[in-house]
Amino acid sequence: MFQQAASGEAADRRARPSSEIAPDSPSRLSIVIPALNEENAIAQTVARCLAARSHIISETDVESVELIVVSDGSTDRTEELARSFPEVTVLAFDKNRGYGAAIKCGWAHATGDLLAFLDADGTCDPLRFANLVGDMQRAQADVVLGSRNGPESQMPWIRTVGNRLFAWLLMALSLRTVADTASGMRVVRRAALPHLYPLPDGLHFTPAMSARVLLEGRLKLRETPMPYAERIGRSKLSVVRDGVRFLVIILQAAVTFRPARPLLGIALLCVLGSFVMGLYPAIHYLTSFRVEEWVVYRILLSSLLATIAAFLTCAAVVSDRIASAVHGRWAATKTSSLLHRLFTTRMRTVALVLLWAGAVAIVLPGLVEYAQTTHVYMHWSRAVLSSLLVVIGVVLSITGFLLRMMDLIEAQQDSRSGVRPPDRIKHAADSEGFAEPALTSPVGAET
- For 149, counting Cβ atoms within 10 Å of its Cβ (0-12 exposed, 13-18 middle, 19+ buried), the class is middle
Instruction: State mean pLDDT over 267-288.
Output: 88
In whole angstroms, give the CA distance from residue 402 to residue 318. 7
Is 389 a member of any domain? Answer: yes
- Same domain, yes or no: 160 and 200: yes
Q: Could you tell me what percent of the chain has a pLDDT over 70?
A: 77
CA-based torsion, 32, 38, 42, 43: positive or negative: positive
The answer to whether residues 267 and 166 belong to one domain is: no
User: CB of 311 within 8 A of CB of 331?
Assistant: no
pTM of the model: 0.63
Domain containing 290 equals: 260-416
Mean per-residue pLDDT, 386-410: 86
Contacts for 86 with CB less than 8 Å, ≥ 6 apart = none
Q: Is residue 4 part of a domain?
A: no
Distant-in-sequence, close-in-space partners of 360: CB < 8 Å, separation ≥ 6: 367, 386
Contact call for residues 226 and 297 (beta carbons, < 8 A): no
Q: Taking residues 269-276, report their average pLDDT.
A: 93
CATH number at residue 35: 3.90.550.10
Tell me whether residue 281 is in a domain.
Answer: yes
User: Is the residue at 252 inside a domain?
Assistant: yes
Residue 242's pLDDT is what?
Answer: 64
> Do residues 161 and 145 both lie within one domain?
yes
pLDDT tens digits, 288-331: 877 777 778 888 899 899 999 999 998 888 888 887 777 665 44
Tell me, letter by letter, the H, E, C secondary structure of 311-335. Answer: HHHHHHHHHHHHHHHHCCCCCCCHH
3 state DSSP class of 38: coil
Q: Are 263 and 317 in contact (CB under 8 A)?
A: no
Burial 100-115 (b: 16+ CB within 10 A, else e): bbbbbbbbeebebbbb
Do 291 and 383 lie in one domain? The reply is yes
Residues 240 and 281 in one domain: no
pLDDT at 157: 58
Positive or negative: CA dihedral 50, 51, 52, 57? positive
On the question of pLDDT at 233 being above 60, the answer is no
Q: Tell me, yes or no, whether 251 and 264 share the same domain.
A: no
User: Regarding predicted confidence, which is higher, 223 or 327?
Assistant: 223
Number of structural domains (the chain) is 2
Residues 252 and 265 in one domain: no
pLDDT at 160 over 70: no
Report the pLDDT averaged over residues 413-432.
Answer: 61
Regarding predicted confidence, which is higher, 57 or 380? 57
Boundary of a domain, candidates 215, 241, 257: 257
Contact partners, residue 157, CB within 8 Å, separation at least 6: none
- Asked if residue 131 belongs to a domain, the reply is yes
Q: Which residue has the higher pLDDT, 312 or 443?
A: 312
Q: For residue 359, which of 381, 378, 375, 382 has the smallest C-alpha distance?
A: 382
- Report yes or no: 310 and 395 within 8 Å, Cβ to Cβ: yes
Residues 253, 266, single domain; the answer is no
Which among 170, 167, 193 is positioned nearest to 180, based on CA atoms?
167
Do 70 and 129 lie in one domain? The reply is yes
* Averaged confidence pLDDT in the chain: 79
Higher-confidence position of 157 and 215:
215
Residue 334 has pLDDT above 90, yes or no: no
Tell me, yes or no, whether 308 and 189 share the same domain.
no
Residues 265 and 278 in one domain: yes
Which of 257, 272, 307 terminates a domain? The answer is 257
pLDDT at 21 over 80: no
Domain boundary among 230, 257, 284: 257
CA distance between the termini of the chain: 8
What are the DSSP E strand ranges found in 124-261? Answer: 143-147, 185-189, 221-225
Q: Does residue 434 sit within a domain? A: no
Instruction: Give the pLDDT band of residue 156 (cuts 50, 70, 90).
Output: low
pLDDT digits (tens, 9 = 90+) for 68-111: 999 999 999 999 999 999 999 999 999 999 999 999 999 999 99
Exposed e or buried b for every residue in 50-81, given b needs 16+ CB within 10 A?
bebbeebbeebebeebbbbbbbbbbeebbbeb
Does 350 fall in a domain?
Answer: yes
The percentage of the chain sitting over the pLDDT mark of 90, rounded to a whole number, equals 30
- Same domain assignment for residues 208 and 271: no
Q: DSSP states of 165-196 as a string?
A: HHHHHHHHHH-S--S-SS-SEEEEEGGGHHHH
- pLDDT band per the 50, 70, 90 thresholds, residue 427: low
Region 339-347: mean pLDDT is 79
Residue 446 reports pLDDT greater than 50:
no
Q: Can you give the pLDDT at residue 444?
A: 42
Residue 442 in domain: no
